[in-house]
Amino acid sequence: MSAPALALSGVRLVHNPGRSDEVVALHGLDLEVARGEFVTVVGSNGAGKSSMVSVVSGATRPTTGRVRIDGRDVTRLPAHRRAGSVARVFDDPRTGTAPELSIEDNLALAARRGRRRGLRRAVGPKQRAEFRERLAELGLGLEDRMQDPVGLLSAGQRQSVTMVMAGLVAPSVLLLDEHLAALDPATAARVLRLTCALAERTEAAVLMVTHNMQHAIDVGDRLMVMDRGRLVADVRGPRKEQLTVDAVVDLITTAGGVVADRSLLAGTEER
């Protein structure tokens, strides 16, 4: 039996250990996600969702515990050493792209993710055709704007480009940290469809953190609830298919979390 794409074993993260302002962000987290499995993650603010994503990406090293990707222990590897197997998309569309570079140049950099940088060769006709094809799939006309600086794009266009970048080198793990939060509902719906297509094409293990309960229900194979650094619910299969927004909110509040914004009940993204 092959190893899971992502495995966390006893992951504990403590900020300011031993001080009066010590905060335990993750309490001995255990988690396995298989290749091709799509997990949505919900919980109140401070539940540990983004801390978990940071630990998996390599941006933050856990205090104790192990992080394995495709069976390899990467606990001590920084983010740039995991870049070939982990892709991360942030909540801010401005993060993850170089605004002064063209769309083409941003895609070219993403296509070299995980490789030694060295001297960058010019984009050839074959690679440019691939970029055009991927951009055309967005339906935004960006394939005809590849020389435009990314900084000229709208938030939705920029996040769409970021999603294309994330899939150019098929990652083992795809991390989506509230990547729809800054988008209007129509744009968020389009980027969510792109997200599902990317997950299917790459067969990555996906962790999608969201405050939108309806999104958490509608996509993915599993729905995880976190509270105060712990995994308190992991719903999958027929039970997940039967979930409602009210039921997910109940899972959070039962765990002790507080859903302050009742707009979540309507399925709108918390700002």
Tens digits of residue pLDDT in 107-150? 999 998 876 655 455 788 999 999 999 999 998 999 999 999 99
pLDDT of amino acid 172:
96
Distance, CA of 157 to CA of 237 (rounded, Å): 33
Which sequence spans correspond to the domains of the chain? 6-98+173-266
Torsion of CA 42, 43, 48, 49, to 10 degrees: 20
- Averaged pLDDT, 53-80: 96
pLDDT of amino acid 143:
96
Distance, CA of 136 to CA of 124 (rounded, Å): 18
Residue of higher predicted confidence among 121 and 208 = 208
Distance, CA of 191 to CA of 195 (rounded, Å): 6
- Which of 76-85, 184-193, 201-210, 248-257 bottoms out in mean pLDDT, i.e. has the lowest? 248-257
Homologous superfamily (CATH) for 6-98+173-266: P-loop containing nucleotide triphosphate hydrolases (3.40.50.300)
pLDDT of amino acid 256:
62
pLDDT of amino acid 117:
57
pTM as predicted? 0.88
Residue 264 pLDDT class (50, 70, 90 cuts): very low
- % pLDDT > 90, the chain: 76
Distance, CA of 56 to CA of 88 (rounded, Å): 10
Over the chain, what HEC string results? CCCCCEEEEEEEEEECCCCCCCEEEEEEEEEEECCCCEEEEECCCCCCHHHHHHHHHCCCCCCEEEEEECCEECCCCCHHHHCCCEEEECCCCCCCCCCCCEHHHHHHHHHCCCCCCCCCCCCCHHHHHHHHHHHHCCCCCHHHCCCCEHHHCCHHHHHHHHHHHHHHCCCCEEEEECCCCCCCHHHHHHHHHHHHHHHHHHCCEEEEECCCHHHHHHCCCEEEEEECCEEEEEEEHHHHHCCCHHHHHHHHHHHCCCCCCHHHHHCCCCC
Per residue in 29-38, pLDDT (tens digit) is 999 999 999 9
